[in-house]
Chain A
Amino acid sequence: MTLSRFLSRRQFCLLPPPPHRPQALFILGMSDFSEELIKSTTEDDQGERCELSGTGMHFPWLQKHIETVATGGKKEKDFAQTTSACLSFIQEALLKHQWQQAAEYMHSYLQVLEDSDSCKRQAAPEIIWKLGSEILYYHPKSNVEAFNTFADRMKNIGVMNYLKISLQHALYLLHHGMLEDANRNLSQAETWRYGEKSSSQEVLINLIQAYKGLLQYYAWSKKKMELSQLDKDDYAYNTASQNMLDHSWKTSVNLGALIQIPGVWDPFVKGYVEMLEFYGDQDGAREVLTNYAYDEKFPSNPNAHIYLYNFLKREKAPREKLISVLKILYQIVPSHKLMLEFHRLLRKSEKEEHHKLGLEVLFGVLDFAGCTKNITAWKYLAKYLRQTLMGSHLAWVQEEWSSRKNWWPGFHFSYFWAKSDWKEDKALACEKALVAGVLSGKGCRYFRYISKQDHQVFRKKIKRMKKLVKKYSIVNPGL
């Protein structure tokens, strides 16, 4: 009930100019623009006030301190006092999950839109949207319709929030599975223009287009699925594929622009590449992925390299190529699970340096706390150590071991881990014990503990382990 009141009040007091009246929009736009200018100057002014000379740091709690001291100065107006008190009540209620109460306060807070202080009036829609949408998202009696109404009204208060709110509204709809509504929303937002295009506006429009593209991609992949169920000779097949072609063209326009901008665009890139691949544009897909992975302006996103690697793998690219991609991923994320695959590739390679790198990669994976119980990695290492030592590359092992010998024993091969590994995963314990024995000799606590265990299943394994350690241990038993 409160909620409906809240909304009715919104209608009463906000009365946004209908968007189809361009003149009204223009007038509103003008006034808002001038306020925008005012805002930018006053914001700087406030910034200076809030920071302590010298450090440049802002303290949100500075005002509180000043208030305990300031006796003079202009007092805040009653109106400002009530609205700011109301705002803090809303925030408090939200943090206490009292949605009902928050909605009631929100109802009163809307008066801030009539504030005579243009700076505050300017900032109000954003705050209202933030808090209001949060209330509506979590309120137990809220529904999508209420949210839609609110979003539609909020979009048209002030010009600066139209795109942002549209985008978030669309995401909300998307989250609730209402793809068509979301699409309509995004289409509306896409055509919206205000004044000179600022770069932030441009990014937002690109984002909106990209999300639209993503929606089209969803539709496309749905169609693709339908298509795969159809017979190729069917008449319907042709129309459907024609349909898909249209989609593809539109989508590439929509997605292509955004992924040129530096950022993390994983879902967009994934979809775009899938479509390009489907239509046989391998070069285009490769270009997109290469650009996404290697452009320096982009953050070093491991996924970009993973996508490129997967693409190349699908393309059956030469091993050399795959290795070069994974080498970069290895430098960014040496703990990634693809590293084991990387190791396999390196192992299979003919080059000696790749063999050496293969050992390095395994050691690298096991350096990480999250990988200590990865039995495959330990298995690979045990096997590969033996292989390397048999190939008389003792120097490689020693090189890797020298930087680790002062912490691996404590990190991996401690008595504590021997006990707990044996208890939890005996196979893992055996692999680890082998590695421990090879690397730090028979005196290693881990090895000693495991080798002393008597277990009928593992008896044979332990015996073999002891033999291997005796044979390959890099620690000179004489010492």
Chain B
Amino acid sequence: MDFPGSLRPTVFMTGPLGLSDVPDMSFMCSWRDALTLPESLPQNSENGVPHVAKGLLWEPETPGPLPLLPPGPDPWHPGLTAQDLLFRGGHPFQKQPRVVLDVTEQLSRFLWDHGDIAFAPLGKLMLENFKLEGARSRSKKKTVVSVKRLLQDLDGHQPWGCPWAYLSYRQRRFSILGGPILGKSVANLLGDLLHEELVTRWEQLLLDDAFTGGALAWVPGKTPRVGQLVYPAGSTLDKLYFQEVSLTPGGNPQVLRDPGHIQLRGPVRQVVTRTVQGESLLAVRSDYHCALWKISRQGRPAPLQVLQVEKGATGISLSPHLPGELAVCSRSGAICLWTPQDGLRRVYKDPDTLVFRDPSPWRWADFTAHPRVLTVGDRTGVKIVDTQGPPGCGLLLFRGGAEASCQKGERVLLTQYLGEGSPESLHSTLHLICTQFSLYLVDERLPLVPMLKWNHGLPSAPLLARLLPPPGPGCPRPLLLGGQDGQLQLLHITGEEASTPRLAGPPQSLPSRNDSLSAFPVLEPKSQWRLQERLKAPTIGLAAAIPPSASTPILSLFQLSAAGDVFHQCLRLQADPGPDSCAPTVSWSPQATACCSQWLKALLEVPPAPPVWAAPTFSHRRLLGCVEQREVEGKVPEGLRAAMAEGRLLQQRDLGSLPTAEPPPAPEPGPDDELSKRLEAAWEGRAAAWWERRQGWSSGPRQQPKRHKRRTQLSSTFSSLSGRLELSDATSPPPSPDPEARPRPPGTPPSQELAQEHWARGVPSERQQTLRDYMAKLPLREDPLEDASAPPSQTSSIRATRSRQRTLQDNTAKPPLQMDTPEGVSVPPSQTSSIWATRSRQRTLQDNTAKPPLQRDTPEGAFVPSSQTSSIQATPSRQQTPVLSGSQRIRKKPRMGF
């Protein structure tokens, strides 16, 4: 091979990145690269030297790429954004906004939504510091807090983050008492993990290197016009599709028959293909696996080998020299060479980075002009390693430092061997190295000194690059560079064997998928937003083919988005447009717009991504949601719903017909009346007075005998129990919750009922349930049935939904005093199960009958015998959905994996 006889003059300085004293060679522009020195004899250069075809331009045929394949059936969600991770508050005194990860918000949201998980273990530990329900405070110790009072103070209806939240002295005492434990331990344990997770997510958002190299490959077929596109699709990118495509002479690709696919066990991150000695091979990298296929002449893939990479694979490359040989890099810093003869062989291992310390575990390996020499790259540099030499030795090919006039903070994002292995290729010793700022071409025969440096200025990480064969004899080779956010650039690389590689003409940008938006019909905002999101999806694959053509060369460009969409664009080479012709503007053809609208139609038929669960912030939302779920016919729920939705006053006539509508009339005025009164009072701003009155009215012990009576009645007439009875019962307490939900304080005699009712009084009903739930988790509980009925993983969710629904029930209509008495306490253990059974049946019935709207009872998963669990598990989930959609967030807030 010939080496360029005279290289471009360059200063060579050793030193760290961003050395300010080096005359920065990147100060040079693209035209600077086009300059040539006249060779020793000046006569040669007398005649102007138009070395560079100034008007070299690949002109796009359409203003943007077009969808090639219909959208996949799976919904796609764009994932986290900066808004989800960063603190959104203003910094009025800072000149520049700073990046602050919002751990607090995520943490408090977690505590709010999953308080049971966060605090239950602590609660167990702090049990003796709480005076639970019913337990008479015998000790006057200051370290014992009455739970009832506390919850009373918290006052149920407290919007999240409400700045006017009232703090009572009890709360203060509690926070002083519990603060050191509650505040710190959860924050300490969780905060660090959460922060770590947020940092990872944020780093991933800034640079997601999983798709480095690209997951779209063009496998040439039998004829040069036919080939296969290989790409992953599906919501998790775990299906590898093989789509046969034929390129028409006009440049438009035609999809031949339906794609075949292979289902894999993990997401596909990189797809590499090479045709070596007539044999087409396909290598695929997933997070922890790599696989190799051989593509037969008919285009059928035949699996060759699967490798498992325990620490996670970061890169895979196929040898351009030897069929079936590949290099795999792992996060541990090991590079392995796999050959059909020798199997897997580790050729390099270094957990540290090459030039300076960088925390990224990203490694990359590629081949060189010598089949037994590899390049090994990380964020700081690239090294040439002889696989046959002693381990660990090698020569730095590229150094992140002053040698290449790197900027401060510059890191290698992609390295690629540009040779194809065939001796015809002119650049068999060239390597492409991309950083976030620049692109370097390095010749492996002259390490450390880039032959070409160009500041690409892409606004996203350039993780994709493809060097294509020259479109015609004497033409420069197109080098495609793709940014993660879809920006594409095309560079014309020229340079015969005996001269240095140069840019022939200024680089050009190609349209991105975003530019195709104008080809789609205008939609209503929600769909438009969805379309935009879809078009904005990160580009994770790039492939191109130059079909042979008689007239002007054509370049077919395919790109794959993270949503699994394959887009196509056709470019035509304008070799030398006249001096006056500026870049012509192209417009959408009717076929193109038709194609787009067809695609769009298919896209809109795909159901939107299932929303990530988000806790409603205000309690009335829960109310609204639950109301909506109930399949109770009637005017009342509708009226209420309408009223709530409109935010208007709920009037008697909205609900008034209810008691009469429900046959037979209840013996006492239904709770709906109570509700309406309360609501009326509330709307009139006299809620507190009403409440006091109500409390005063109901707190007396006068209903106790009745209640006893009713209960006996209840159990005796169980067999004939119907909704009506239930209804009649509803004025006084609804069937009380089960015994096990409420722990029996040790040593509490059964006769403590009264005291327990006392416990119930005054505590805001929402909090009562919370307390009950919380106590349900205490070790005191003996609850064989629940554990048997629901798998442990599901219990909490069941409980969570239940508690929400309970909240609703409790919140609204019940006279606080008459609430759930712990009857279970009085029942001997032997009878418990039968009581449960009855009760659960009651519940079911109760659920099914027409009931006063807001006084719903709920399926209580935890209390139900095993036979019913499944149906109940199903119910909450069904019921939950409308709540979510009802929360009316346009953008579902993805949660941090909780």
Contact = CB atoms under 8 A, between A and B. Distances in A.
Nearest to B277: A416
Interface string A53-77: 0111111111011101111111000
Interface stretch (A95-103, A279-287, A432-440, A452-460): A95-103
A264 B459 contact: no
Interface stretch (A7-15, A106-114, A200-208, A471-479): A200-208
A68 to B, nearest CB: 5
Nearest to A50: B409
Contacts of B5: 266, 303, 306
Contacts of B277: 414, 416-417
Contact of A264 (B7, B23, B57, B94): B7
Nearest to A58: B409
A61 B206 contact: yes
Nearest to A88: B459
Interface in A197-240: 198-200, 203-204, 207, 210, 214, 217-219, 221-222, 225
Nearest to B202: A52
A407 B372 CA distance: 9
A98 B582 contact: yes
A193 interface: no
A156 B89 CA distance: 45
B678 interface: no
Contacts of A56: 358, 409
A119 to B, nearest CB: 11
A452 B94 CA distance: 82
Contacts of A312: none
A55 B449 contact: no
A60 B436 contact: yes
A66 B2 contact: no
Contacts of B8: 264
A383 interface: no
B421 interface: yes
Contacts of B341: 406
Contacts of B81: 68
A222 B9 contact: no
B793 interface: no
Contacts of A264: 7-10, 12, 446, 449
Contact of A299 (B448, B485, B580): B448
Contact of A203 (B11, B88, B96, B388): B11
Nearest to B580: A140
Interface in A99-152: 99-101, 126, 130-131, 133-134, 137-138, 140-141
A177 interface: yes
Interface string B1-40: 1111111111111100000111100011111101111101
B506 interface: yes
A58 B438 CA distance: 13
B9 A97 contact: no
State the main secondary structure of chain B at its contact with A. Answer: loop
Given A73-B90, A370-B1, A138 B54 contact: yes
A326 to B, nearest CB: 13
B436 A218 contact: no
A335 B429 CA distance: 10
Contact of B23 (A54, A207, A370): A207
B67 interface: no
Nearest to A62: B206
A61 B372 contact: no
B508 interface: yes
Contact of A58 (B35, B82, B408): B408
Contact of B97 (A66, A210, A214, A261): A66
B42 A222 contact: yes
Interface string A236-279: 00000000000000000000000001111111101100100000
A367 B372 contact: yes
A265 B90 CA distance: 54
B477 interface: no
Given A174-B35, A303-B7, A368-B369, A200 B22 contact: yes
Interface string A377-413: 0000000000000000000000000010011001100
Contact of B370 (A60, A179, A369, A374): A369
Contact of B48 (A69, A71, A177): A177
B142 to A, nearest CB: 43
A83 interface: no
Nearest to A70: B97
A172 interface: yes
Interface string A26-59: 0000000000000010000011011110111111
B261 to A, nearest CB: 30
B220 interface: no
A402 B895 CA distance: 59
A234 B410 CA distance: 63
B423 A141 contact: no
B461 to A, nearest CB: 8
B239 interface: no
Given A270-B6, A302-B445, A369 B583 contact: no
Interface in B558-591: 579-580, 582-583
B70 interface: no
Contacts of B205: 65
A175 B9 CA distance: 15
A202 to B, nearest CB: 10
Contact of A69 (B82, B203, B582): B82
A288 interface: no
Interface in A297-319: 297-303, 306
Given A60-B459, A140-B579, A97 B372 contact: no
B423 A371 contact: yes
Contact of A207 (B11, B92, B94): B11
Contacts of A218: 38, 40-42
Given A47-B408, A271-B40, A58 B436 contact: yes
A174 B86 contact: no
B482 interface: no
A168 B22 contact: no
Interface stretch (B241-249, B316-324, B606-614): B316-324
A344 interface: no
Interface string B415-446: 00001011101001100000011000000011
A303 B460 CA distance: 37
A73 B12 contact: no
A333 B3 contact: yes
B46 interface: yes
Interface centre among A49, A171, A267, A410 (most CB of B within 10 A): A410
B222 interface: no
B83 A68 contact: yes
Contacts of A204: 23
A134 B30 contact: yes
Nearest to B57: A97
B6 A267 contact: yes
B21 A198 contact: yes
A65 B370 contact: no
B27 A134 contact: no
A327 interface: no
B31 A372 contact: no
Interface string B340-370: 0110000000000000001110000000011
Nearest to B409: A58
User: 3 shortest A-B CB distances, which residue pairs?
Assistant: A72-B90, A58-B409, A95-B509
9 contacts: A62-B99, A70-B90, A96-B508, A174-B35, A175-B35, A200-B23, A214-B37, A335-B369, A335-B445
Given A55-B358, A176-B48, A267-B6, 10 more contacts: A98-B583, A175-B36, A175-B49, A214-B37, A266-B7, A299-B446, A302-B445, A368-B369, A406-B342, A416-B277
Interface of B: 1-14, 20-23, 27-32, 34-38, 40-43, 45-49, 54-55, 57, 81-83, 86-92, 94-99, 199, 202-203, 205-207, 277-279, 320-323, 339, 341-342, 358-360, 369-372, 379, 388, 403, 407-411, 419, 421-423, 425, 428-429, 436-437, 445-449, 457-461, 485, 489, 506-509, 579-580, 582-583
